[in-house]
Each structure stands twice: as C-alpha cells, then as structure tokens.
Amino acid sequence: MVFRVYMLAVKAPGITIEEFKEQWDVHHLKLLKEIAGDVYPDVHIHHYPKQVQGPADALYDGIGYLEFKNKDGFLKMKEIAEKPENQARLDKHERTFLDKSKIQMYVVEDEE
C-alpha cells in the first residue's frame, strides 16, 4: 500500500510567488530533510498550477505531494515533526512563506 499526502498551500501575504517557491522548494525541504532524517518521504514534490478555468482569484498557490511506502512511514515522520523542538522550527519557517490559516491537507491510501 502506498500512502500519499497532498497539501494545497497558500503563500503568505506580502511575498511574491518567486519568494514562496524559493522558501518552499529549497529552504523548507532542507529543514524537513534535516528533521525527518531516515523517515523522510520516498517522494516529495511541489507543483505550481496555472489556472485554466474558474474564478479569477486562485484558491491556492502550490500543491505539495508526499509519498510513503505505507501509513506507518507517514506516522513516524509526523511523530518526529511534532516533537516540540521540531514543531517550533517548522512553524517558525512556515510562517515566513505560508498562510497557515488557508492550508488544506489530504491523505490517500492506495493499493498497489
């Protein structure tokens, strides 16, 4: 079974989309890899959609995709990330580039 996590991310007010991408793709990935160590996801990708239909105001600026071999892998990383010292580091950085009040996260388990 593959366990996937999707995140719909909204950039923080006052930063450009380029600044958002730099923080998420480079600095946040590096921080998460450092914190997660061996339990870092097997796949971690960010996409930046170009709107082709719908309201003029985009609802999100990026889509994060994480893939784990199974749910246990995800839960191990979640446990490490939620340790107070790690959570504080992640929160501090996330507040520089994300509007955390608008983030949506979804999990999907697939048989393979």
pLDDT interval class at 112 (50, 70, 90): low
- List domains and CATH numbers for the chain: 2-110 (3.30.70.100)
Report pTM. 0.86
For the chain, the average pLDDT equals 92
pLDDT interval class at 1 (50, 70, 90): confident
| Least confident range of 37-41, 54-58, 64-68 | 54-58
Distance CA 98, CA 73 (A): 25
| Least confident range of 30-39, 47-56, 100-109 | 47-56
Q: Which residues contact 103 (CB under 8 A, 6 or more apart)?
A: 7, 8, 9, 10
Distance CA 37, CA 107 (A): 21
